Amino acid sequence: MTINGHTKITGIFGDPIGHTLSPAMQNAAFKAVGLNAVYVPFHVKADDPAVLKAAVEGLRAMRFLGVNVTIPHKERVLRYLDEIYPHAADIGAVNTIVNRDGRLFGYNTDGTGYLLSLRDETGLRIARKKIVIIGAGGAARGIFYAMLGMKPSSIVLVNRTIRRANTLAKAFEARFSSTDIRTSALQRGALIEHLSNADLVVNTTSIGMMGKGELDIPVEALPPKAIVSDIVYRPSKTGLLKAAEKRRLKTHGGLGMLVRQGAIGFELWTGMKAPVSVMTGAALKALKHR
Ligand code: ATR
């Protein structure tokens, strides 16, 4: 790669940022399409709020194409942008910023990325399906919102803290009245009941990630055609997915969501079609070399 006076700049703001797979994925994509652009991780510290503001201003000053924004800046960054796309405003979080002639536009591509990956890898269409979402945090919010737009028949939000699930359900239930939205505590009895006629269960919590324990989800209660999905991608097969495979259920891991949200960002920044298979290969390789 030659960096010269014409190189376009993109990157990611986060704290911490050391583990991100996005640079490997995006730089491989630029190379594959022959674009003179780079993607650089920026450690934008969260302890002083002025730092994020200054970093965002820098995007204009230095004419970046745009950046991704990750934990813990996804919510706070909204106030520094010029325009927020409706879905990002509804979710209350931005993961992708696009710089159009000095105006900064905020998008959220996580939920859509998740649905595209699910469709590609399992063929599942959300319309009229019965869904169980485990978790009610930031990741759940994006996925829940994207799913509601596809008019599933029902969604049960299952969370350790039921109050948080109720708050999330209330935020959108009036606007998406064609979906039956319910909430439930993370208890075995309740889960068995909700899983027994589900088409899809998705874990949106970080439980199952390396060193974070395992979720105890009674997958045996699911119908044989159900799909089990986990947004955790390290390990690529969480305990939940292994348990599902043992029951011969179709599974869906988290790497595709990362790749697909990145592919949407690539397309927004460059106006070119993202080389999704190149990005998948680069993300897998970077994950292996961790
Ligand atoms: P993210 O942005 O990754 O979704 P978050 O907003 O902190 O992170 O949300 C974390 C989610 O994981 C929440 O649903 C949380 O449940 P609570 O709302 O009850 O905290 C869930 N979670 C975290 N640790 C958990 C655990 N040990 N058991 C069950 N759920 C857990």
Predicted confidence band at 211 (pLDDT cuts at 50, 70, 90)?
confident
Q: Which among 238, 244, 242 is positioned nearest to 211, based on CA atoms?
A: 238
What's the 212 CA to ligand 1 centre distance in angstroms?
11
Tokens 């891991």 sit at which residue? Answer: 253
- Average the pLDDT over 92-115 and give the result: 97
What's the 215 CA to ligand 1 centre distance in angstroms?
11
d(CA 66, CA 53): 15
**Is 150 in contact with 175 (CB distance < 8 Å)?**
no
Give the binding-site residues of ligand 1, using a 6 Å CB cut-off.
135-140, 159-161, 164, 186, 204-207
Residue 1 has pLDDT above 80, yes or no: no
Nearest CA to ligand 1 atom 27: 207
Residue 210 has pLDDT above 90, yes or no: no
The pLDDT assigned to 289 comes to 86
Nearest CA to ligand 1 atom 26: 207
Q: pLDDT by residue (tens digit) across 131-186?
A: 999 999 999 999 999 999 999 999 999 999 999 999 999 999 999 999 999 999 99
Nearest CA to ligand 1 atom 7: 137
The pLDDT assigned to 76 comes to 96
Residue 109 has pLDDT above 80, yes or no: yes
For the question of residue 237 being annotated catalytic, the response is no
- Average the pLDDT over 41-55 and give the result: 97
Q: Which among 136, 145, 202, 142 is positioned nearest to 172, based on CA atoms?
A: 145
On average, the pLDDT of the chain sits at 96
**Ligand 1 site-directed mutation target among 206, 212, 216, most atoms within 8 Å of CB:** 206
Residue 8 has pLDDT above 80, yes or no: yes
Predicted confidence band at 50 (pLDDT cuts at 50, 70, 90)?
very high
The pair phi, psi for residue 238, each rounded to 5°, is: -75, 170
Residue 290 has pLDDT above 90, yes or no: no
**Ligand 1 site-directed mutation target among 205, 206, 209, 217, most atoms within 8 Å of CB:** 205
What percentage of residues in the chain have a pLDDT greater than 90?
A: 94
The per-residue DSSP string of 176-219 comes to -TTSEEEEEES-HHHHHHHHTT-SEEEE-SSBTBTTS------G
Residue 105 has pLDDT above 80, yes or no: yes
The pLDDT assigned to 212 comes to 85
Q: pLDDT by residue (tens digit) across 234-287?
A: 999 999 999 999 999 999 999 999 999 999 999 999 999 999 999 999 999 999
9 contact partners, CB below 8 Å, separation of at least 6: 37, 38, 40, 62, 63, 64, 65
